[in-house]
Structure 1
Amino acid sequence: MASIGVLGPGGVGGLIAARLGAAGHEVTVVATERTAAEITAHGLSFQAPGAAPVVSHPDARPWLTAPVEVLVIAVKATELLAAVQRVPAAVLDKAIVLPLLNGIDHLPVLRASYPRATVLAASIAVEAVRHRPGAIEQLSTMADLAIADGTPEGVRAAELFRAAGLTVGTHPDEQTVLWRKLSFLDPFALLTTGADAPIEEALRRKPEWLRPLVDEAAAAAAVHGVDINADAVESRIRSLPGTMRSSMLRDRQAGRALELDAIAGPVIRALGHAKATTTVEVARTILGNS
């Protein structure tokens, strides 16, 4: 049994907290005062596809006050700087930090914030939502975690999450772990949010956007030494359930801050405006409609 902290028990963080708790680990969730109070009073409700909700009772706090062996960070990129104030560096010491954020720019920020900890590159592909504080639903069976396992800490983290029943893939190169997700998420999120529609309708409204977005994301990955199969990414996006919405589209429709810089920013910065023309065009469309 390991001691696990989960910073941000939203859709992703709540799912992780519920699954690790069910596997017998000691879980502490760190959240805003309201969310921590809700979970303390009512528990954490988690519903997987085809199953009834299961309620667990992790320790819930607005600040992490005791050391943990592993800290999972599952907040939005727009909330990262405020969220890490809830986890002092002295409490973490040499813990493993596993950030499940969109984008690539959070790694150096977290390594500066927690210099004694081991911050791993990781990503997760999952469709999960928080209906209200402490009430989490996984919408599809997909829950694929990727972890850079080029260190002993990475190997240990992968083993821990596999034992908890999650599908875990590994790669020794952290840029590969991050860009494999971003090269899919960037075109999917920009297309659906720019068209303000789920993927099937977005493809009908803006068919000219998909392939250039995919190609630009793949070219940006290549700048970082990562080879992405653009044909496979396009095929994957076209095969998604027609009603599927990206998290960015969900945020826009709910009036929340968008992770536009975290998702589109790395592509534009890697290629420059002259080569990331469609990414820039769609980003401007999203900003103009927000």
Structure 2
Amino acid sequence: MATVGVLGPGGVGGLIAARLGAAGHEVTVVATERTAAEITARGLSFQAPGTAATTSYPDARPWLTAPVDLLVVAVKATELLAAVQRVPAAVLGGATVVPLLNGIDHLPVLRAVYPSASVVAASIAVEAARHRPGVVEQLSGMADLVLADGTTEGARAAELFRAAGLTVGTHPDEQTVLWRKLSFLDPFALLTTGADAPIEEALRRRPEWLRPLVDEAAAAAAAHGVDINADAVESRIRSLPGTMRSSMLRDRQAGRALELDAIAGPVIRALGHAKATTTVEVARAILGNS
């Protein structure tokens, strides 16, 4: 049994906390005072497709007060710097840190904040939602986790998640782990948010955006040494369930801060404005409508 901390028990973090807790691990969720109080009093309710809701009672706190073996960071990229104040580096010590954030820029930040920890690049493909504090639902049938296993800590974390029943893939190169997700998420998020519609309607409204967004994301990945099959990415996006919304679109419709820089920023910075023309166009459209 491992001791696990989950910073940010929202859609993704709540899913991870519930599944690791069900696997017998000792889980501590770290959240705002309100969310920690809700989970302490009411428990963490989790439901996956085709299953009844279950309620567990992880230790819930506004700050991490004891060391853990593994810390999962599952906050929004826009909330990262504020959230890590709830997990002091002196308490965390040499734990393994697995961040499940969108984008690529969080790795050096977390390594600077936690110099004694081992930060493992990771990504997750899942549609999940927090309906209210402590109530989480996995909306998609898939919940696919990918970790960089080029270190002993990464390989051990992959085995822990796999033993908890999660679908886990690995790759030795952390840039590949991050860019394989971002090269899909960037066009999907920008298209749906820019069109203000789920994927099927977004493709009808702005069909001219998809392929240039995919090509620019693939070119940005190539600039970081990662080869992306643009045809496969486009096909994957077109095959998504028609009602599927990106997390960025859900955030926009709920009036929350958008992870626009975390998702579109790496593409624009890698290529420059002259080559990321459609990414810039759609980002400006989103900013103009915010």
**1:10 alignment partner AA:** G
- 1:207 alignment counterpart: 207
| Corresponding position of 1:124 | 124
So what's the TM-score if we normalise by structure 1? 1.00
State how far apart, in whole Å, the 1-side matches of 2:185 and 2:37 are. 33
Following superposition, the deviation at residue 204 of structure 1 comes to 0.3
AA at the equivalent of 1:28: T
Say which SS state the counterpart of residue 78 (structure 1) adopts: helix
In structure 1, the residue matched to 2:53 is: 53
Q: Identify the residue that residue 182 of structure 2 maps to in structure 1.
A: 182
Report whether the alignment pairs 1:247 with 2:247.
Answer: yes
Tell me which residue corresponds to 2:151. 151
Structure 2 residue ranges without an equivalent (≥5): none
Secondary structure of the 2:115 match is coil
Q: Deviations over 1:26-82 (max 9, x none)?
A: 000000000000000000000010111100000000000000000000000000000
Pairwise CA distance, 1:102: 0.1
Deviation track 1:243-273 (CA, whole Å, cap 9, x = no partner) reads: 0000000000000000000000000000000
Structure 1: how far apart are the matches of 2:171 and 2:91? 29
Q: Which amino acid aligns with 2:126?
A: V
- Are positions 1:95 and 2:91 aligned together? no
Structure 2 partner of 1:115: 115
The aligned amino acid for 1:260 is L
Question: 2:161 maps to which residue?
Answer: 161
What is the rounded CA distance, in whole Å, between the counterparts of 2:244 and 2:289 in structure 1? 21
Paired letter, 1:60: A
Distance between the aligned counterparts of 1:91 and 1:55, measured in 2? Answer: 28
1:35-54 alignment runs, 5 A limit: 35-54=35-54
The equivalent of 1:17 in structure 2 is 17
Whole-Å separation in 1 of the counterparts to 2:254 and 2:104 = 25
* Residues 128-175 of structure 1: CA deviation (Å, up to 9, x unaligned): 100000000001210000000000001000000000000000000000
Per-residue CA distance 1:165-202 (angstroms, 9 max, x = gap): 00000000000000000000000000000000000000
- Residue 250 of structure 1 aligns with an amino acid whose one-letter code is R
Q: Could you tell me how far apart the structure 2 residues matched to 1:171 and 1:68 are?
A: 25
What does residue 287 of structure 1 align with?
287
Q: Which amino acid aligns with 2:243?
A: T
Opposite residue 53 of structure 2, the aligned amino acid is P
How many residues are treated as equivalent by the alignment? 290
Identify the residue that residue 5 of structure 1 maps to in structure 2: 5
Separation in structure 2 between the aligned mates of residue 93 and residue 38 of structure 1, nearest angstrom = 28
Alignment partner of 1:116: what SS? coil
Q: Distance in 2 between matches of 1:273 and 1:120?
A: 31
Residue identity opposite 1:146 in structure 2:
V
* Secondary structure in structure 1 of the residue aligned to 2:94: coil
Partner of 2:77: 77
Q: Which runs of 5+ in 1 are unaligned?
A: none
Query: Secondary structure of 2:98's match?
Result: strand
Q: Which runs of 4+ in 1 moved over 6 A?
A: none
Corresponding residue SS for 1:209: helix
TM-score by length of 2: 1.00
SS at match of 2:170: strand
In structure 1, what is the equivalent of residue 192 of structure 2? 192
